[in-house]
Chains A and B, each alone.
Chain A
Amino acid sequence: MNSFLEVFRQYKWDDVKNSIYAKTSQDVERALSKDKRDLEDFKALISPAAAPYLEQMAQLSHQLTQKRFGKTIQMYIPLYLSNECQNICTYCGFSQDNKLRRITLTDSQINREVEIIKKMGYDHVLLVTGEANKTVGVDYFENALDLIRPHFSHISMEVQPLDQNDYERLIDKGLNTVLVYQETYHEEDYKLHHPKGKKSNFKYRIETPDRLGRAGIHKIGIGNLIGLEDWRTDCFFTALHLNYLEKKYWQTKYSISFPRLRPFSGGLEPKVEMIDRELVQLICAYRIFNEEVELSLSTREREIFRDNVIKLGITTISAGSKTNPGGYAAAKESLEQFEISDERSPQQIAEMIRKQGYEAVWKDWDAVLA
Chain B
Amino acid sequence: MLKIGDKEFKSRLFTGTGKFSNNNLMRKSLEASESELVTVALKRVDIKSDDDDMLKVLSHERINLLPNTSGVRNAKEAIFAAQLAREALETNFVKLEIHPDPKYLLPDPIETLKATEELAKDGFIVMPYIHADPVLCKRLENAGSSAVMPLGSPIGSNKGLKTIDFLEIIIEQSNLPVVVDAGIGAPSDAAKAMELGADAVLVNTAIAVSPNPVEMAIAFKMAVEAGRMAYEAKLAASKNFAEASSPLTSFLD
Interface residues of A (CB under 8 A from B): 66-72, 123, 153, 219, 246, 250-253, 292, 354, 357-359, 361, 363-366, 368-370
A67 touches B209 (CB 8 A): yes
Q: A67-B209, A72-B19 are in contact. Are A292 and B77 (CB under 8 A)?
A: no
Q: How many residues of B contact A (CB 8 A)?
A: 29
Q: Would B71 and A292 count as touching, CB distance under 8 A?
A: no
Query: Which B residues are CB-close (under 8 A) to A69?
Result: 19
What is the CA–CA distance of A67 and B19 in the complex, to the nearest angstrom? 9
Given contacts A71-B209, A251-B100, A292-B103, contact A369 B71 (CB under 8 A): yes
In the complex, the answer to whether A246 meets B103 with C-beta atoms within 8 Å is yes
Across-interface contacts of B122 in A (CB, < 8 A): none
Say yes or no: is B238 at the interface (Cβ < 8 Å to chain A).
Answer: no
Contact, CB under 8 Å: B158 / A70: no
Tell me the minimal C-beta distance from B117 to chain A in angstroms: 21
Asked if B19 and A364 sit within 8 Å, CB to CB, the answer is: no
Given that A68-B156, A70-B208, A70-B209 are contacting pairs, would A368 and B42 also be in contact in the complex, using a CB cutoff of 8 Å?
A: yes
Q: Determine the distance from Cα of A219 to Cα of B43 in the docked complex, in whole angstroms.
A: 15
Complex interface: chain A residues within 8 A of B208 (CB):
70-71
Residues of chain B at the chain A interface (Cβ within 8 Å): 18-23, 42-46, 71-73, 77, 80-81, 84, 100-104, 156-158, 205, 208-209
List chain A residues, Cβ under 8 A from B103.
246, 250, 253, 292
Shortest Cβ gap from B58 to chain A (Å): 15
- Name the distance in Å between A365's Cβ and chain B's nearest Cβ: 5
Given contacts A67-B158, A70-B21, could you give 7 more A-B pairs where the C-beta distance is less than 8 Å? A70-B20, A70-B208, A251-B101, A253-B103, A292-B104, A357-B21, A364-B43
Contact A363–B43 (Cβ < 8 Å) = yes
Q: Contacts A66-B209, A250-B101, A369-B81; is A71 near B46 (CB within 8 Å)? A: no
How many Å lie between the Cα of A67 and that of B209 in the bound state? 7
Known contacts A71-B209, A246-B103: A359-B44 contact under CB 8 Å: no
